[in-house]
Amino acid sequence: MNRDINEILRRLRDEIRQHDYNYYVLDNPTITDAEYDGLMAQLIELEEEYPHLITSDSPTQRVGGGLRNEFGVVHHTVPMLSLSNSFNEGELRDFDRRVKQRIGALPKYVIEHKIDGLSVSLEYIDGIFVRGATRGDGIVGEDITLNLKTIKSIPLKLKDPLTLTVRGEVFMPKHAFVALNESRSLKGQSLFANPRNAAAGSLRQLDPSITASRSLDIFVFNVETIQGNYFNSHVEALNFLGEQGFKTSPIIAVESSIDKVIDICTEWSERRHNLYYDIDGLVIKIDDFIYREVLGETTRNPRWAIAFKFPAEQKETKIEDIIVQVGRTGVLTPTAILTPITVAGSVVSRATLHNEDYIEEKDIRIGDIAVIQKAGDVIPEVVKIREDRRTGNEVRFVMPKNCPECGADVVRLKGEVASRCTGNACPAQLKRRLIHFVSRDAMDIEGLGPAMVTQLLENKLISDAADIYYLTYDDLIGLERMGDKSVSNLLKAIEVSKTRGLDRFLFALGIPLVGARAAKLIAEHFQSIDKIMKADKEAFLEIDEIGEKIAQSITGYFREEQNIELIRKFRYADIQLEYEKAKSIVQNLRGLTFVVTGTLEGYKRDEIKDLIEERGGRVVGNVSKNVDYVIVGESPGSKLDRAKELNIDIIDEKEFNSFLKDQ
């Protein structure tokens, strides 16, 4: 009996999947909504009667019913790099020149829309969708599998039993965005600023049924990894993905002439508004995968692709006032308060004015009519002032002589553009330092956001970042919106943050000019906070990428007695103040490039990749003349043939293990 029911279920699921594909991918439904609902009702009824026969790829499993306490962490097998941007014809021609010089040939460029959404990875094993993740920082993302399963243009089962990872962009169609905001307005809820913001918020819902109600969509645009297949070009790979059931990124054109590429970019600057989804530019990619291998990538961007960003939309509005905000390093930043106006899809009511020199250079006055745009379609800025529309009632801005937060003197040092508060106990500086300290890229203390930081300060429970680690249950239980479970979760999050590592801790301190990259380089070089505190400027200058200003900033920071005392407090709280990752890992694979193909007995794919990269090597996805070794497991596929064609050294798993010891 089960065999007959299994066959009925299989046919029913396949039929529904085909209709999903026709409707959500091809935009060509072949049955009515009522007929589709009837098929789904049959499937739901059968699965309720035979729950032991429900499969993870069934169309009924797209909407999860339960809440998730948190998102898990996903380490991307292939780093999800971002694209470098171009904003004009000259930068596109520079890209074309660099490509031709490096490959010594005339490339073909594939042009696609740059979807204004949220980048995700989708992982399939034997043709079944098993995991999906956000881009995160490109190396580590969040597990949002259940939410992604609600997007009907994502196939839960592929045509063939493939093991692969693809990358795509999740977006909210314009009509869905309008409907969502109309619904929220009727309920008295806050509105989303733009479709991208709405899509991002929808994907990170803890309740997948909320995500399912948001009408999200996706375009898949890259094969990240695949077992048993080899593609020669991007167009070939996209066509293959389309055959497997993916909704792939539309290819606008394939061109060899950079002149034609530039013409297409100019044309789409106007045509973009006619699409049913938002794009903020075009993506230009090298089609040939061999050329991609030759070009390679930096730690942040592939050299074989570039984004052309459309010129920013400009609008006019009135500067109603100019206020001053105090940052975590004491810098006073003037901000224009604007008559609210919609620019590039979101409402703008403020724009940073940077500093006094910026205001004087543009002659910005309170009451002026200003031309506003979003830099990179993100950050509002004043482009220029409409002097021809002045009435004579405009007021010049003067930087205050005293800090608006604490009343301390404001100074501007010779050679600097920034005005700074001199108050050591300035509450505005302290609050912003604390918000930075607990932020995701720093100590990442979940549940300790700006509102909670404000509460802790107002209740005099903390006076510096180290005090966070001395908070108790009794301190927190009386605060607003802090019940027993919330307090327990926050204390656990604080405890977990103690092991973030020296590099994250150093970045969290908020030392001027010491960003995340500099903090990591310094931590790797010195290995402990004690050595960092004792080092002189010359010792920091020995590190690649660390310049004079960073060296002066960090040595100056650790000369201050209050900062030395702060480190003592962190030490007593058992914060990890040594750098552990780099201990005793020999860089014996530095300069070598590997391809891994087939199934390995002793390693998972991400494990062998981590092992190679920890030792200074590099793992790439395709075989080219720049590859030094191809590691072959069971069922290697066409990459083995390609390696033989190019006469590249081929080693198996056992030889690789011996190779590690011999190097």
Going by pLDDT thresholds of 50, 70 and 90, the confidence category of residue 70 is: low
Domain 502-572, what architecture?
Answer: Orthogonal Bundle (1.10)
Query: Given a cut of 90, is residue 330 above it in pLDDT?
Result: no
Q: Are 453 and 438 contacting, i.e. CB atoms less than 8 angstroms apart?
A: yes
- At 491-519, the pLDDT tens digits run 999 999 998 899 899 999 988 888 887 89
Query: Distance between CA 482 and CA 462 in Å, rounded?
Result: 17
Q: What is the mean pLDDT of residues 137-159?
A: 90
By residue count, the chain amounts to 663
Percent of the chain whose pLDDT exceeds 70: 92
Domain 427-497 has CATH 1.10.3370.10: no
Domain 314-408 has CATH 2.40.50.140: yes
Structure tokens at 180: 């969502």
- Burial status of residue 433 (CB atoms within 10 A of its CB: 0-12, 13-18, 19 or more): buried
Task: Give the domain ranges of the chain.
Answer: 2-62, 85-309, 314-408, 427-497, 502-572, 593-662
Going by pLDDT thresholds of 50, 70 and 90, the confidence category of residue 64 is: very low
Q: Supply the DSSP string of 376-405, one letter for each residue.
A: TTTEEEEEEE-GGG--S--EE----SB-TT
Query: Distance between CA 178 and CA 276 in Å, rounded?
Result: 12
Query: Given a cut of 70, is residue 661 above it in pLDDT?
Result: no
Query: Given a cut of 80, is residue 312 above it in pLDDT?
Result: no
Query: Given a cut of 80, is residue 368 above it in pLDDT?
Result: yes
Query: Distance between CA 110 and CA 256 in Å, rounded?
Result: 9
Spell out the residues 6+ positions from residue 167 whose beta carbon is closer than 8 angstroms to its own. Answer: 80, 119, 120, 121, 122, 220, 221, 222, 224
Query: Given a cut of 90, is residue 370 above it in pLDDT?
Result: yes
Structure tokens at 596: 């891994």
State whether residue 232 is helix, strand or coil. coil
- At 518-544, the pLDDT tens digits run 898 899 899 999 999 999 999 999 887
- At 548-587, the pLDDT tens digits run 888 988 998 898 888 899 999 999 999 999 887 544 566 7
Query: Distance between CA 25 and CA 651 in Å, rounded?
Result: 42
Q: Over the chain, what is the mean pLDDT?
A: 86
Spell out the residues 6+ positions from residue 360 whose beta carbon is closer than 8 angstroms to its own. Answer: none
State whether residue 341 is helix, strand or coil. strand
**CATH homologous superfamily for the domain 85-309:** DNA ligase/mRNA capping enzyme (3.30.470.30)
Going by pLDDT thresholds of 50, 70 and 90, the confidence category of residue 345 is: low
Query: Distance between CA 549 and CA 493 in Å, rounded?
Result: 34
* CA neighbor of 224 nearest in space, from 112, 86, 73, 119: 119
Phi, psi of 514 (to 5 degrees): -95, 95
Question: How many CB atoms lie under 10 A from the CB of residue 43?
Answer: 20
**Domain 314-408 identical in fold to domain 593-662:** no
Query: Given a cut of 90, is residue 393 above it in pLDDT?
Result: yes
Q: Which residues face 120 on adjacent strands?
A: 134, 168
Where is average pLDDT lowest: 328-342, 379-393, 626-640? 626-640
Which one has a higher pLDDT value, 457 or 640? 457
Q: Are 113 and 252 contacting, i.e. CB atoms less than 8 angstroms apart?
A: yes
**CATH homologous superfamily for the domain 2-62:** Helix hairpin bin (1.10.287.610)
H helix runs in 459-578, sequence order: 473-477, 484-497, 502-508, 516-526, 529-534, 537-541, 548-557, 561-572
Query: Distance between CA 639 and CA 595 in Å, rounded?
Result: 9
Query: Distance between CA 243 and CA 328 in Å, rounded?
Result: 53
Catalytically active residues, by annotation: 114
Spell out the residues 6+ positions from residue 641 whose beta carbon is closer than 8 angstroms to its own. Answer: none
Q: What is the mean pLDDT of residues 119-135?
A: 94
- At 163-196, the pLDDT tens digits run 999 999 999 999 998 888 888 877 777 777 778 8
Query: Distance between CA 318 and CA 307 in Å, rounded?
Result: 33
Helix (H) or strand (E) segment spanning residue 539: helix 537-541
Query: Given a cut of 70, is residue 30 above it in pLDDT?
Result: yes
Model-wide pTM > 0.85: no
DSSP letter (8 states) at residue 501: -
- At 405-452, the pLDDT tens digits run 888 888 887 777 888 887 666 888 888 889 999 988 899 998 898 889
Q: Where are the beta strands (DSSP E) in 508-619?
A: 593-597, 618-619
Going by pLDDT thresholds of 50, 70 and 90, the confidence category of residue 217 is: very high
pLDDT at 61: 72
Q: At what angle do helices 89-103 and 258-271 cross, to 10 degrees?
A: 140
Query: Distance between CA 420 and CA 331 in Å, rounded?
Result: 4
Q: Strands 118-125 and 305-309: what pairing?
A: unpaired
Q: Which residues face 370 on adjacent strands?
A: 317, 385
pLDDT at 563: 87
Q: Are 224 and 78 contacting, i.e. CB atoms less than 8 angstroms apart?
A: yes
Q: Are 226 and 378 contacting, i.e. CB atoms less than 8 angstroms apart?
A: no
Where is average pLDDT lowest: 38-42, 229-233, 351-355? 38-42
pLDDT at 3: 59
Q: Which residues face 412 on adjacent strands?
A: none
Q: Which residues face 128 on adjacent strands?
A: 125, 157
Q: What is the mean pLDDT of residues 17-33?
A: 69
* CA neighbor of 376 nearest in space, from 280, 267, 265: 280
Q: CATH class for domain 593-662?
A: alpha beta
pLDDT at 583: 47
Q: What is the mean pLDDT of residues 323-347?
A: 86
- At 590-606, the pLDDT tens digits run 778 888 887 777 777 76
Query: Distance between CA 73 and CA 71 in Å, rounded?
Result: 7
Q: Strands 379-385 and 395-396: what pairing?
A: unpaired
pLDDT at 663: 52
- At 242-292, the pLDDT tens digits run 999 999 999 999 999 999 999 999 999 878 888 899 898 999 999 999 999
pLDDT at 521: 87
- At 288-307, the pLDDT tens digits run 999 999 998 876 789 999 99
Phi, psi of 402 (to 5 degrees): -125, 145
pLDDT at 65: 38
Query: Distance between CA 645 and CA 9 in Å, rounded?
Result: 46
Rg (the chain; Cα; Å)? 28
